[in-house]
């Protein structure tokens, strides 16, 4: 099976490399020529645009920043739709607004092109080791057909429902993660301000009901002052913006999501948008006039 891959950023590059390691014949495309050269050195072929990718492949994966980038890569000039044959499948693994997933899918369907939305969770580390969580929307028969392909990049691949459902699940995930990081930040800031070692508080509560994957991933980063991005604040802002738009479109109140958006906007104003989202703790440190570290 020849697979196209458009988007070789912090997530797409390691994902594409895992496909090559698994033996897939890959054709890649990205504006970043250094990234393309890196993946080509691992065994991929390159193409200049989405049209050239689609002309060579039966399935095309897109992994780009947001809804406008997906639309441009797929439906824009020299995009996938210009080179795809009827029956070609687009698997969009970007995290975008689910209403846009449906709209783009509807445009592709007019040309006989199928689409699934399959956003991922796990950040760069899990993209590298091939253990991402993938949430898939689209036709069930397409999910079944491409399950093995997706599992090369993932630890779990779950079918959620019709097209757009994958991104609904991803946005739900991003809401939970943001609120969870904020809760950990608030708790550790409280502990430090109260004069108790936040590292020991973390160790005391992580094995109980308060414990979570998010806590175990992010509390050590906060305590060691390591804010090297696994998932940047600016990307989480993008996801929460999509969540707010999607929720407002269906009159589903999301007050905690709105609060977290404002916290992250404050961090962006302070110049932290390129840091990991664990730097949410810096918002709490600022308003409490303290620093969370042992």
Taking CA atoms, 206 is separated from 93, 186, 211, 225, in Å, by: 32, 15, 4, 19
74: three-class secondary structure by DSSP: helix
Over residues 197-253, the pLDDT tens digits come to: 999 999 999 999 999 999 999 999 999 999 998 889 999 999 999 999 999 999 999
**What's the pLDDT score for residue 122?**
87
CB of 97 closer than 8 Å to CB of 126: no
Taking CA atoms, 226 is separated from 70, 104, 220, 291, in Å, by: 32, 39, 8, 13
**What's the pLDDT score for residue 181?**
98
Nearest-CA neighbor of 111 among 140, 141, 75, 71? 75
φ, ψ at 144 (rounded to 5°): -60, -40
Token digits of residue 6: 């458009």
Q: Which domains does the chain have, with CATH numbers?
A: 2-163 (3.40.50.720), 169-288 (1.10.1040.10)
**What's the pLDDT score for residue 125?**
87
**What's the pLDDT score for residue 167?**
97
Percent of the chain residues past pLDDT 90, beyond the cut: 96
In angstroms, the CA 117 to CA 204 distance is 40
In angstroms, the CA 75 to CA 104 distance is 8
Query: Average pLDDT for residues 34-44, to the nearest whole number?
Result: 97
What residues are annotated to the active site? 170
Q: Which residues pair with 258 in a beta bridge?
A: none
**What's the pLDDT score for residue 294?**
76
Over residues 56-69, the pLDDT tens digits come to: 999 999 999 999 99
Residue 3's pLDDT band, with cuts at 50, 70 and 90, is very high
φ, ψ at 86 (rounded to 5°): -55, 135
Over residues 117-175, the pLDDT tens digits come to: 999 998 888 999 999 999 999 999 999 999 999 999 999 999 999 999 999 999 999 99
**What's the pLDDT score for residue 265?**
98
């Amino acid at each position: 099976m020849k697979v196209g891959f458009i988007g070789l950023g912090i997530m797409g590059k390691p994902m594409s490399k895992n496909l090559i390691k698994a033996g897939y014949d890959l054709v890649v495309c990205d504006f970043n020529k250094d990234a393309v050269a890196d993946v080509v050195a691992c065994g991929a072929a390159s193409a200049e645009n989405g049209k050239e990718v689609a002309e060579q492949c039966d399935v095309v994966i897109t992994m780009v920043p947001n809804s406008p980038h997906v639309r441009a890569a797929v439906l824009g000039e020299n995009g996938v739709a210009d080179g795809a044959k009827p029956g070609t499948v687009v698997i969009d693994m970007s995290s975008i607004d689910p209403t846009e997933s449906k709209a783009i899918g509807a445009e592709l369907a007019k040309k006989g092109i199928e689409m699934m939305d399959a956003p991922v969770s796990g950040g760069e580390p899990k993209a590298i080791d091939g253990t991402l969580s993938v949430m898939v929307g689209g036709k069930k028969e397409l999910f079944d057909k491409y399950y093995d392909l997706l599992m090369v990049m993932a630890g779990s691949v779950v079918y959620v429902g019709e097209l757009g459902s994958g991104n609904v699940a991803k946005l739900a995930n991003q809401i939970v993660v943001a609120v969870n990081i904020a809760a950990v930040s608030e708790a550790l800031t409280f502990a430090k301000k109260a004069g108790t070692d936040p590292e020991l508080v973390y160790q005391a509560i992580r094995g109980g009901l308060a414990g979570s994957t998010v806590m175990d991933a992010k509390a050590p980063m906060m305590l060691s002052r390591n804010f090297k991005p696994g998932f940047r604040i600016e990307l989480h802002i993008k996801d929460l913006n999509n969540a707010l738009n999607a929720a407002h479109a269906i009159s589903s109140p999301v007050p905690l999501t709105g609060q977290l958006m404002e916290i992250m906007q404050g961090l962006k104003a302070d110049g932290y948008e390129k840091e990991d989202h664990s730097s949410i703790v810096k918002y709490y440190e600022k308003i409490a006039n303290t620093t969370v570290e042992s």
